[in-house]
Structure 1
Amino acid sequence: MGKAEQGSLSLPRGVTLRQHKTGSTLVITFTYKGVLCREPLSKMDTTSRGIKYADRLLGEIQNQISSGTFDYSKYFPNSKKLELFGVVKKTKNIKSYLDEYLKICENRNLSPSTIGGYEKCVSALSSLHRLHVAELTPAVLKNWIASRKTKLKTIRNNLSFLRSAIDEAVTDGLLTINPVTLVSASRYHVIDSTPNPDDYEVDPFTPAEASAIYLHCRFQEWKNLFRFAFNTGLRSSELCALRWADIDFVENTAHVQAASVVGVLKGTKTKAGTRKVELNSEALLALKDQKPFTSMKSDFIFSDPKTGEPWANSDAIRKKAWVPTLKKAGVRYRNPYQTRHTFATRHISHGVNLFWLAGQMGHKGPEMLFRHYGSYLAEYDGRTSVHSAKL
């Protein structure tokens, strides 16, 4: 191996000195995978002894490159070249990937409310933050799911964000498969035996209560949203995702084909959820009154009048519009999902065809109606039986 003179030192080929303000550093140069690499030996003194060490190290590296056994990260764990060769530091933990994916989302210029929802997901996953991605096993995820006291829907939203973040670890080569895809939240979620009336009890609004809600909306856009909800039975997440292009003003239908969950547009809850909902005169009035606000500036029909942005999710509607309106109207609180129950029970009281109603609500068949509205169906049957007897 030839030698080169640099200053007063005799340097072997491939070994150089890099001068800087505080002194000098030995640098070895070699070619790996067609890339010219220069790596400093910052902890090695620039003495004849240090130069001999650098020469031996360079020979060792070149031999391993020739035999195909060279591990770049073993020799230079902090090198910037690692990413170039597809090697990622094995110290990267789950929090790093969550932050990385959150940054990706921020770069997509999503609304502040959407980013806020993602930040809540990062916080909800705090017990997993310090784990290295290789330690995120299905067993760890099962225990995390079982420990959560939140709703199953919230857990699924958190896992959806985690899955997207850990996809980056798969891309980086730290994992061969994303472990989040192997675990079902519903299987390991511990169901709270204490019933929550707001979530599970069918408690529809009366016509007088609905009128009071319309009357006390602070913004016309809130009134349009609530009127449309009461008269179509759409879920809040479906209302967030509904676009003007989904409305057929000739056939008077709304094509429901998406939902907004934590600010992310997804398909409907079930295959049957993709449906065409018939629009009555009240629903059409809500759309007519909404047109001046969004039809010329947004693809989405309903938006938050305070921000001018489409509603990010059902939670945003509940907190920012629904709760204050019911309080102002003096209407006993029930959650927004009760607008859907109101739509169903009103049609049941009118004796509509249950197969038609199931289709309008996105159910596979009437079985779900019997499960949720059995008492209302029985009450209607009782009234019709009495009426028949009188005839």
Structure 2
Amino acid sequence: MKNYDRTFKMNAVKLSYKRGKGQIASIERELGITASCLYRWRQDFEKFGAGSFCGTGYLKLTLDQSTITNLEKKVKDSELTLEILKRGSKHVALGKIMTKDFIEDNKNKFSILKMCSALGVSRTTYYRRKKQELSNTEIRINILKEEITSIFYEFKQICGCRKIAKELEKRGFKITDSHVASYMKVLGLYRKAKRKYKATTDSLHNHYVFPNVLNREFKVTDPSQVWVSDITYIQTMRGFLYLTIIMDLFDRKIIGWSLSDTMSTKATTLPAWEMAVNNRKITKELIFHSDRGTQYANKIFTKSLDSYKYVRRSMSRKQNHNDNAVSESFFSIFKRELIHRDKLLSRKQLRIEVYEYIENWYNKKRRHGFLGYKTIEEFDRINKLS
């Protein structure tokens, strides 16, 4: 029997209410579920609302029951905080050393994090006050481990030791890549692995083909000197979406992109090109490099690029992905950091995730080895592009 996750069930039920009872059968066919599934899910949702489809090992709670449970948790948490304050407030009044002693004496009864929070003491202060037991080096190591763990999860579990070391350096720590690697191993922090994916290029045609002018010269000295472009596919809960990107090789920024339901030129390369020329001006000769896919080698797209007098076309040679290696590298990073998860997303959710990844993560916060482990925003500020 096929298992469906909570998001799928919830979306199916909401869709059935939106379309009405008369469309139940068509919804079941559309989603590929049995006739009884949607009926059971609707019954479950009507009874438990937001508490529906919680999975095995969890109690199903009605809205009222869920509210009561949350209130009980808050009451219990408040009682715990009050008990810590009753026992520890007099120690706080006597100074930081006495506060440290209280936390040490009660760490088997309450968590250190909870005591620090209740008593208004930072964990850094607590560790510093423990210098009778911990050396300055030990305190520094504890703080470093916390910072490394924080950065690892803040940056989506995809940063290796080198990028984490650069981020630590920005935050005021001096540490080598090898030391970060050692701490990550001790902490059990391993970044997500790369996976292979298939190409989407169809170069078996007789359309507009151009020579490989770029010739793998991927380092440029100015913005809008070379733009590279490529297309990849992404699987969703219902079929595929196609991501087209245009990157400026100067700062590796994605200046144009499109996420489409089809592989047509009007849905892929044209909107990506229009976004790119709106984001960056073309004031001198620009090499636009791509593969020989039909989305790039057709009359419509060629005519659009020809309308800009400074644009010079360049295409990869047949069956030679290394001619467009930077675009291929971006998709490899993109799929490792965003797409390869345990479950497929809906098309709507994927569109949101792709926007967040490109505009708010890749173009702003991600540190790039090619840029000396600066973010694109930091690199552009140095080069007076932003």
- TM-score, length-scaled by structure 2: 0.21
Bigger Cα Rg: 1
Q: TM-score, normalised by structure 1?
A: 0.21
